[in-house]
Amino acid sequence: MTLDFSQDFFALFGQARRFGLDAAALDAAYRAIAAEVHPDRYASAPDSERRIALMHATRVNEGYQTLKQPLARARYLLQLAGVDTQEETNTSMPAEFLMEQMEWREAIADARADSHVEQLEKLSRELAGDLKALEAGLTEALDGTTPDLDGAAQLVRKWRFMEKLDQEIGDAIEALLY
Amino acid sequence: MALLQIAEPGLSTAPHQHRLAVGIDLGTTNSLVATVRSGSATCLPDESGRTLLPSVVHYSEAGTVVGHAAQAEQSRDPHNTIVSVKRFMGRGLTDLPDASALPYRFVDAPGMLQLSTRSGVKSPVEVSADILRTLKERAEQSLGGELTGAVITVPAYFDDAQRQATKDAARVAGLNVLRLLNEPTAAAIAYGLDNGSEGVYVVYDLGGGTFDVSILKLSRGVFEVLSTSGDSALGGDDFDQRIFCWILSESRLSALGAHDTRLLLTRAREAKEALTEHTETRITAILSDGESIDLILDQATFHEISQTLIDKTLLPVRKALRDAKIGVDEVKGVVMVGGATRMPQVQKAVGALFGQPPLTNLDPDKVVALGAAMQADVLAGNKGNDDWLLLDVIPLSLGLETMGGLVEKVIPRNSTIPTARAQEFTTFKDGQSAMAIHVLQGERELVADCRSLARFVLHGIPPMVAGAARIRVTFQVDADGLLSVTAREQSSGVEASIEVKPSYGLSDDEISRMLTESLSNVQGDIEARKLREAIVDAQSLTEATRSALANDGDLLDASERTAIDAALAAVDLATQGDSTRIVNDAAAALSRLTDPFAERRMNRNIQRALKGHNISEL
The pLDDT of residue B586: 92
From B601's Cα to the closest Cα of chain A, the distance in A is: 9
Tens of pLDDT, residue by residue over B418-457, are 999 998 888 888 888 888 889 999 988 889 889 888 888 8
What's the fold here for domain B236-307? Actin; Chain A, domain 4 (3.90.640)
Q: What is the mean pLDDT of residues B60-68?
A: 93
Q: Measured between alpha carbons, how far is B203 from B344 in angstroms, rounded to an integer? A: 17
For residue A65, list chain B residues with Cβ-Cβ distance below 8 A.
Answer: 415-416
The CATH class of B521-617 is mainly alpha
The pLDDT of residue B617: 45
Q: Are residues A36 and A102 in the same domain?
A: no
The pLDDT of residue B428: 84
Q: Are residues A106 and A59 in the same domain?
A: no
Select the residue of B2, B375, B591 nearest A42 (Cβ to Cβ): B2
Q: Are residues A44 and A104 in the same domain?
A: no
Which CATH superfamily includes the segment(s) B398-506? Substrate Binding Domain Of DNAk; Chain A, domain 1 (2.60.34.10)
Strand partners, B203: B214, B335
Among B103-107, B364-368, B429-433, which is the least confidently predicted range? B429-433
**Vertex B176 angle, CA B171 and B178, to 5°:** 120
Q: What is the mean pLDDT of residues B121-137?
A: 96
DSSP for A64-97? Answer: HHHHHSHHHHHHHHHHHTT----TTT-----HHH
Q: Measured between alpha carbons, how far is A23 from A70 in angstroms, rounded to an integer? A: 11
Is B309 exposed, middle or buried (CB count within 10 Å of its CB: 0-12, 13-18, 19+)?
buried
The pLDDT of residue B376: 96
From B570's Cα to the closest Cα of chain A, the distance in A is: 17
pLDDT band at B405 (very low <50, low <70, confident <90, very high): confident
Instruction: Please give the residue that has the higher pLDDT: either A1 or B125.
Output: B125
Q: Indicate the helix (H) or strand (E) that contains B295.
A: strand B292-298
Closest CA to B208 of B408, B412, B93, B56: B56
Tens of pLDDT, residue by residue over A131-152, are 999 999 999 999 998 999 999 9
For residue B6, list chain A residues with Cβ-Cβ distance below 8 A.
Answer: 36, 41
The four Cα atoms B90, B93, B99, B100 give a dihedral, to 10 degrees, of 160
Where helices occur in B23-106 by DSSP H, the ranges are 68-72
For chain B, domain boundaries: 2-234+313-391, 236-307, 398-506, 521-617
The pLDDT of residue B522: 47
The four Cα atoms B442, B444, B449, B451 give a dihedral, to 10 degrees, of 10
Q: What mean pLDDT is reported for chain B? A: 87
Give percent of chain B above pLDDT 90.
57
Q: Are residues A48 and A101 in the same domain?
A: no
- The packing angle between helices A149-177 and A95-113, to 10°, is 10
Q: Which residue of A has its CA nearest to B414?
A: A65
Q: Measured between alpha carbons, how far is A140 from A133 in angstroms, rounded to an integer? A: 11
Q: Please answer yes or no on whether B594 and A46 come within 8 Å at the CB atom.
A: yes
Any domain includes A138? yes
Q: Please answer yes or no on whether A48 and B595 come within 8 Å at the CB atom.
A: yes
Q: Which sequence positions of B are flagged as catalytic? A: 25, 86, 183, 205
Q: Which residue of A has its CA nearest to B21?
A: A44
The pLDDT of residue B501: 62
A-proximal residues of B, 166-205, CB under 8 Å: 178-179
Tens of pLDDT, residue by residue over B145-161, are 989 999 999 999 999 99
pLDDT band at B225 (very low <50, low <70, confident <90, very high): very high
Any domain includes A27? yes
Tens of pLDDT, residue by residue over B541-562, are 888 888 889 888 999 999 999 9
Any domain includes A84? no
Tens of pLDDT, residue by residue over B312-343, are 999 999 989 989 999 999 999 999 999 999 99
Domain range enclosing A162: 95-177
SS3 of B474-518: the string is EEEECCCCCEEEEEEECHHHCCCEEEECCCCCCCHHHHHHHHHHH
Closest CA to B86 of B130, B33, B22: B130
Q: Measured between alpha carbons, how far is A18 from B433 in angstroms, rounded to an integer? A: 44
The pLDDT of residue B615: 40
Mutant choice from B312, B539, B602 vs A, greatest count of A C-beta within 10 A = B602
Taking CA atoms, B519 is separated from B125, B514, B523, in Å, by: 16, 9, 9
CATH for the B2-234+313-391 domain, from 3.30.420.40, 3.40.50.800, 3.30.420.80, 2.40.160.20: 3.30.420.40
A-proximal residues of B, 349-388, CB under 8 Å: 375, 378-381
Provide the 10 A C-beta neighbour count for residue A53. 24
